[in-house]
A and B are shown apart, each in its own frame.
Chain A
Amino acid sequence: MRTNPIFSNALLFGAWFSVGLLILIAVFMVLRSWPFFDREGLGALWLDSNWFPTEGSFNLLPMVAGSLMVTLGAVLLAGPTGVILAIFGRYYAPARLASVYRALMELLSGIPSVVYGFWGLLVLVPWISSFAPPGASISAGIIVLAIMVLPLVVLTVDTSFEQTPKKWLVAADALALQRWSKVWRIVLPASLPSILSGITLQTGRALGETMAVLMVCGNIVQVPGSIFDPARTLTANIALEMSYASGLHVNALFVSGLLLFILTVVIVKFGGLIQEGTRRQGA
């Protein structure tokens, strides 16, 4: 096949550039984390009593737990809700409402996260505080994050519905299938792999979210006992302390970043495995 050599070379350059960038980021994080491992050892990350970096105590485990709880909670809440909303938007809503609905979702997905965080801080946290003080908690973080990723889940799910082969739907109509059986038996199974991979991508986004979570989660370093306890995520830890840290504290914060990097890679890989698994089952 003949291709334009300049165009394909530019593409090749772009591809290698992004791979190179990723490798550089990883190398940089390891280099900046290294003095910490050298001085404190790997064990300090879970053996130290708590996170008091200026007092020489560097336990990061509570923040890994905080990040995972908030992220998984948000995805468990937004995933199924998003699928239901997408089904409504594409197969049940009247045509005019459906187009307004899609535009609204696109608008919502463009709102900066700080705005959601601000709403959470001024409305959600005081409301939760009225029945479960202090209010700033895992649950507040889960709700804010779920609302943030919901429009994106709806949009990706909607896109994967669109890719259902037209002739299947025509055949379903010819067989006089009801709307619900068409969705449940044909559309959902056909688009399951891309729904799952879409949700996985949103998991990565939720894991990396910083400002909104920082504003509503309370940022106490502890393994939360209930969803009404405050907790700190890895991202919030970096944002709160990086510009104020010096010495080993900085290196410890780079370790937070490194852990976040590893978690993201693991989740994306895991998402890929799920997608492959369902695709194989479907075939």
Chain B
Amino acid sequence: MNRLLPFFTLLISIISLTGCGQSTSEKLVLTGSSTVAPLVSEIALRYESQHPGIRIDVQTGGSSRGVNDTRSGLADIGMVSRSLKTSEEDLSANIIAWDGITLILHQDNPVTALTRQQVIDIFTGKVQNWREVGGKNEAIVVVNKAEGRSTLELFLKHFGLKNSDVDADIIIGDNQQGLKTVAGNPLAIGYVSIGAAAYEFEHGAPINLLAINGVEATLANVEKGVFPIARPLNLIIKDSDSKLATDFIAFAQSSKVNDLILNQYFIPANAN
């Protein structure tokens, strides 16, 4: 072992030294919402490739972490997938994109519209059979999102529910799993991001997007601001912030990243 020791010491010093080369480069740290993070990572890659010498570090941890880190200075920019609350007015929000949430059913399900109360009754288990809301005499399979997802939060908030009120039959993770679950089950009802649902629908998945309060679930309606379950995706900063941070936010709001935003099924904030 003793004979090998110098070799390992050398190896370890080489590995640790390689990290020190670019100490002069500027660094930007973003933390917060996991809905926004994948999009911002893509934007950051493009920004880095156009601005050599700048390194951007994107970390997730939820919208509230984004708020806390921006306040404490741990992060230069926070990512928040909701509007800022009144208690957070010391920070300034910059919308980069919009996201909407819609209910989806299987195409074999004859139900085409549900009232707010019917949705609440279905998700709380008061209504257990499709017959009671105008469908076939079959059991309802309620598909809910896993705890901590912002889609879940927004859905619950819109319908005034608590997660423990929901009587679910299947719990899913991401939008894709939700879409596959409903596409494979004629008894199911679930909710997902509008963009993802519209994309799958256009590509032949056997699903129907339900209108909410009579407003058709389309990306166009989210864009017009008339769709009821929509939320802004924000980049937040403290008022006294660096030139680099404001420059990055301007880049994220510019039309130079619209293709990245649309790829993630969001609506660019500069669209209208």
Contacts and interface: CB of A to CB of B under 8 A. Distances in A.
Specify whether A and B are partners. Answer: yes
Interface of A: 5-6, 9-10, 12-13, 50-55, 57, 118, 121-122, 125-126, 129, 133-136, 214-215, 218-221, 230, 232, 239-241, 243-246, 249
A118 B1 CA distance: 49
Contacts of A232: 171
Given A122-B184, A134-B141, A136-B181, A246 B61 contact: yes
Given A133-B141, A219-B170, A241-B148, A246 B185 contact: no
A125 B185 contact: yes
Contacts of A52: 147, 163-164
A244 B141 contact: no
Contacts of A51: 147
Residue in B61, B149, B162, B170 whose Cβ sees the most chain A Cβ within 10 Å: B170
Dominant SS among interface residues on chain A = helix
Contacts, number: 103
Interface in B142-167: 146-150, 162-164
Contacts of A214: 173, 177
A9 B4 contact: yes
Contacts of B150: 244
Residue of B1, B34, B65, B148 most packed against chain A (CB within 10 A): B148
A241 B162 CA distance: 17
B37 to A, nearest CB: 9
B172 interface: yes
Question: B interface, how many residues as a size bin?
Answer: 20 to 34
- Interface SS, B side: loop
A240 B172 CA distance: 8
B64 interface: yes
Nearest to A214: B173
A232 B172 CA distance: 11
B22 to A, nearest CB: 29
Nearest to B62: A246
Nearest to A54: B147
A221 B164 CA distance: 11
A218 B142 CA distance: 10
Given A13-B1, A133-B141, A219-B171, A54 B185 contact: no
Contacts of A220: 168-171
A134 B128 CA distance: 12
A98 B196 CA distance: 46
B175 interface: no
B187 to A, nearest CB: 6
Contact of A244 (B149, B162, B184): B149
Contacts of A12: 1
Contact of B4 (A6, A50, A55): A6
27 contacts: A5-B3, A9-B3, A9-B4, A13-B1, A13-B4, A52-B147, A54-B163, A55-B162, A121-B181, A121-B184, A125-B181, A126-B184, A129-B185, A134-B169, A134-B185, A134-B188, A135-B185, A136-B169, A220-B168, A220-B170, A220-B171, A243-B60, A244-B147, A244-B149, A246-B61, A246-B148, A249-B148
A218 B147 contact: no
